[in-house]
Chains A and B, each alone.
Chain A
Amino acid sequence: AQTVTQSQPEMSVQEAETVTLSCTYDTSENNYYLFWYKQPPSRQMILVIRQEAYKQQNATENRFSVNFQKAAKSFSLKISDSQLGDTAMYFCAFMRNTGNQFYFGTGTSLTVIP
């Protein structure tokens, strides 16, 4: 079974600073996908970034980037130049290549402090 662990229930960061959210996962699969989703107070789930396991290059999306360490089964999210609108719950998710079912971590609540 796949498990996703987010060990930081809550984090805070000063506006304009950089913060890193951690995520580890456990799988015996070799090909899979990893995602970070953001859930703001509106409760809608918003895709932040995705990473294919076969790609060694870390994915980036504007101020968001990941540090994907396949051997260590680690997938951290770095948010640069944090903005107030980044305040949200962040979920790490795993998806097997052979199926479309997500396995979610328990989430990290991020607060950006003005």
Chain B
Amino acid sequence: DSGVTQTPKHLITATGQRVTLRCSPRSGDLSVYWYQQSLDQGLQFLIQYYNGEERAKGNILERFSAQQFPDLHSELNLSSLELGDSALYFCASSSPGGLSTDTQYFGPGTRLTVL
């Protein structure tokens, strides 16, 4: 158990819909990262938040957005869903600021299926 929690575990929805994925980082971690893992794309970095602010952006579509709240939990919002958005979405957390704290710890993932 990494200490990172993600809900829901599974999500099934239809094309055109909007969903919200939730992540709670490890206690004390300030950074949250979102990744998408699909069969044909591998593991892709989407976005990073640090203490409530966006820190880095990767291959995140405009239909997707994220935020980190004052209690440090984060939400990833996916809208106008397409079949190709079906994937496993991982959240990870870390506490930057020291060699021993740069490691990212991954949550169990949310499996999104778009029908």
Contacts and interface: CB of A to CB of B under 8 A. Distances in A.
Interface of A: 33, 35, 37, 42-47, 50, 52, 91, 95, 99-104, 106-107
Given A45-B92, A52-B99, A95-B102, A104 B33 contact: no
A100 B33 contact: yes
A13 B9 CA distance: 32
Contacts, number: 53
Interface stretch (B12-20, B62-70, B78-86, B103-111): B103-111
B47 to A, nearest CB: 10
B97 to A, nearest CB: 10
Interface residues of B, number: 27
A-B pairs, 8 with minimum CB distance = A45-B106, A104-B43, A44-B108, A106-B42, A101-B56, A101-B45, A43-B109, A100-B96
A102 B45 contact: yes
A42 B44 CA distance: 19
Contacts of B88: 43
Interface in B13-68: 31, 33, 35, 42-45, 48, 55-56, 58
